[in-house]
């Protein structure tokens, strides 16, 4: 069984996102010059590591210093997500779909007919 590391995700503050190829069962990078929608690619979004494990994050974070325990200050300022979940979206349901349309238009290609897998809508899974 393959695992996905938090290092494979990009952090945007509160959440971490990454592109997952379901067929290859691995994280991938998206080419900004795409002209065709990949069928097996999904956007995974999970809460940031500091919100899943604020105590562990506080022990490695140098932002909090002082006489008070880092754990207490960190947990008071950055609350833990009690039931963290991951969100899965097909690439055609994200902002990348517009980029693909624009790339096709620039290259003079006809509009693409995208078929979203019927069994996959936005899903939430517990971590």
Domain spans, the chain: 6-46+84-126
CA nearest neighbour of 100 among 37, 42, 43, 44: 37
- pLDDT of 42 > 90? The answer is yes
Contact 42, 20 (CB under 8 A): yes
CA distance 58 to 47: 16
Look at residue 12 in the predicted model and tell me its pLDDT: 82
**91 vs 72, higher pLDDT:** 91
Q: In the numeric block, which tokens belong to residue 81?
A: 């997500």
Q: In the structure, what pLDDT confidence band is assigned to residue 65 with cuts at 50, 70 and 90? A: low
Total residue count of the chain as it appears in this document? 127
**pTM score:** 0.75
Q: In the structure, what pLDDT confidence band is assigned to residue 51 with cuts at 50, 70 and 90? A: confident
Share of the chain above pLDDT 70, in %: 81
């Amino acid at each position: 069984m393959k695992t996905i590391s938090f290092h494979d995700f990009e952090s945007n503050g509160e959440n971490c996102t990454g592109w997952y190829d379901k067929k290859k069962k691995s994280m991938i990078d998206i080419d900004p010059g795409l002209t065709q929608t990949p069928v097996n690619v999904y956007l995974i979004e999970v809460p940031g590591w500091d919100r899943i494990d604020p105590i562990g994050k506080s022990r490695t974070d140098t932002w909090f210093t002082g006489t008070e325990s880092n754990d207490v200050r960190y947990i008071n300022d950055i609350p833990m997500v009690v039931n963290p979940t991951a969100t899965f979206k097909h690439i055609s349901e994200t902002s990348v779909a517009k980029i693909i349309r624009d790339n096709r238009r620039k290259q003079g290609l006809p509009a693409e007919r995208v078929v979203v897998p019927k069994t996959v809508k936005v899903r939430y899974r517990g971590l």
